[in-house]
Amino acid sequence: MKHFLKWSPLPASFGLVSYSVQFQGEFELLYRNGSWEDVFECQLIAHSTCDMTDYIACNVDYNIRVHAQKGGQRSDWASIRQLFNSRQTKLTTPTMTVTAAREFIRVTFAEIPKSIDVILNYWKKGKESNSPSIVETWKILRS
């Protein structure tokens, strides 16, 4: 499972702005005197998304914060409203529509996050209970 921090970027009128992200888990809070750790891939980045997957462990509470920087100016840190724990993550199924014709099946998905892989299995009508009778499996690719 992937974990991304996303935030609202500053208006374009501010010009080119860089963002930096830090986290604080139980270990940093209890054993490192409340220190904050940099998310190395998310230091001085231009976009407003940070992949924190490699920094998030199971069943640990995290505080996460981000700040903006332009030239010698730096904003205050903005922290998430409540601690994040990966066990709070809820997975839902994507919305899809299926159109069948004699020679093809078209499956259309609503927007699917890039962090999710979709595997589509289909089979002949009436064979639903026999999972080994899958005709073909497709992994949905994105461009």
All structural domains of the chain with their residue ranges: 4-88
* Alpha-helical runs (H) found in the chain: 26-31
Q: What is the per-residue pLDDT for 135?
A: 53
- Encode pLDDT of 79-97 as tens digits: 988 877 776 766 667 788 8
Cα 44 from Cα 62, distance rounded (Å): 21
Per-residue pLDDT at 125 exceeds 80: no
Residues with Cβ within 8 Å of 128's Cβ and at least 6 positions away in sequence, in order, are: none
pTM of the model: 0.64
Nearest to 65 by CA among 73, 2, 57, 55: 55
CATH code assigned to 4-88: 2.60.40.10
Per-residue pLDDT at 1 exceeds 80: no
Q: Which residues of 132-143 are buried (b: 16+ CB within 10 A; e: fewer)?
A: eeeeeeeeeeee
- Encode pLDDT of 6-41 as tens digits: 999 988 888 899 999 999 988 898 899 999 999 999
- Residue 23: which H helix or E strand, with range? strand 18-24
